[in-house]
Amino acid sequence: MSRRNFTGVADFILTGLTDSEEVKLVLSVLFLLIYLITVLGNMVMILTIRLDPQLHTPMYFFLTHLSFLDLSYSSVFSPKTLQNLLTSTKSISFLGCFTQMFFFIVFGSAECFILSSMAYDRYVAICRPLYYPVIMSTRLCCALVAGSYAISFVESTVGTIFTSRLQFCNSHVIQHFFCDPMPILSLSCSDTSEVEVIIFIFAGSNLVLSLITISGSYLSILSTILKINSTAGKKKAFSTCASHLLGVTIFYSTMMFTYLKPKTSYSLGRDQVASVFYTIVIPMLNPLIYSLRNKEVKSAALRVLWKRVGCRQLK
């Protein structure tokens, strides 16, 4: 049986963000600028951490993978979004649509787990500093990262397969700028309750378990910080967590707004704004948050740059 006969459609049409040509031009320039900053910022973050031995610690190990996820996450959406804004071609093949959905779920879920791992790392560093080298061993860090990718891969595979097996006989126009699961479900003429439950369980369990880990870690951190007598000590402890806490707040607030609600409450305008934020804007913000607010990263970037410039001059 062919894919068209099985699903009812051979491809989908993405309506995009707007029909106004003037707004499209503005958005295309803005999104292109954001994407370039995202690529540059995350690549600089990854290379700086890799090339500077002083940053070879668990915290920066997780930050490397966060930057990789942000870079990959943005690359799933930005090129196709820019193509839709700059050209009249808005179609995406059936395979291309569900491939985009697959990587969207993989990278989004993995980022939840990496942020949780970073919160646990900060908890151990502040609340159990004497045991930090023992607890946050190389084996544990690698296991946390590998587990994040493995669980995300399984969840994405199951969710994508179940969604792709639905019948799409009513329409093939997706009221969105990318292949988001909820707008796709609204097109199906099949019973989508099973798929909705699967998506809700996966998304809900990821967010809830991650938030429990993060909340528990930061409650313990706050309790420990309040017991510190010196103001300088409290300020230093807060500064080590501020960047991560800001990144977590931005990421989870938009994800919860979008996915922890039933399909009946879906609103195109509100959800598109939230989607633009967590698919395009947040991957740009993370390297800025973690670099501009982190003296170690800025110092390491200058050291790496100085070494490269010095080596060229010697040659």
CATH number at residue 198: 1.20.1070.10
Q: Is beta strand 11-14 parallel, antiparallel or unpaired with respect to 173-174?
A: parallel
Q: What is the pLDDT of residues 165-188, one digit of tens each?
A: 888 876 788 888 889 888 888 888
pLDDT band, very low/low/confident/very high, at 293 (cuts 50, 70, 90) = low
Q: What is the pLDDT of residues 230-251, one digit of tens each?
A: 777 677 777 767 777 777 888 8
- pLDDT of 310 over the 60 cut: no
Higher pLDDT, 275 or 59: 59
Instruction: Name the nearest CA neighbour of 96 among 114, 115, 112, 83.
Output: 83
Contact 70, 98 (CB under 8 A): no
Output the CA torsion 91→97→101→107 (10° steps). -80
Contact 78, 281 (CB under 8 A): no
Higher pLDDT, 22 or 153: 153
- pLDDT of 298 over the 80 cut: no
Q: What is the pLDDT of residues 68-105, one digit of tens each?
A: 999 998 999 899 999 888 887 788 998 999 999 999 99
The range of the structural domain enclosing residue 87 comes to: 3-314
Query: How far apart are the C-alpha atoms of 117 and 140, rounded to whole Å?
Result: 10
Query: How far apart are the C-alpha atoms of 167 and 4, rounded to whole Å?
Result: 10
Q: What is the pLDDT of residues 150-167, one digit of tens each?
A: 999 999 999 999 999 888
Question: Span 51-66, mean pLDDT?
Answer: 89
For the chain, the distance separating the N- and C-terminal CA atoms, rounded to the nearest angstrom, is 64
* pLDDT (0 to 100) of residue 251: 80
Q: Is beta strand 91-93 parallel, antiparallel or unpaired with respect to 11-14?
A: antiparallel
* pLDDT (0 to 100) of residue 294: 65
- pLDDT of 2 over the 60 cut: no
Total tally of structural domains belonging to the chain: 1
* pLDDT (0 to 100) of residue 263: 54
Extract the tokens encoding 130. 């004497």
Instruction: Name the nearest CA neighbour of 35 among 67, 69, 88, 71.
Output: 71
* pLDDT (0 to 100) of residue 230: 76
Mean pLDDT for all residues in the chain? 83
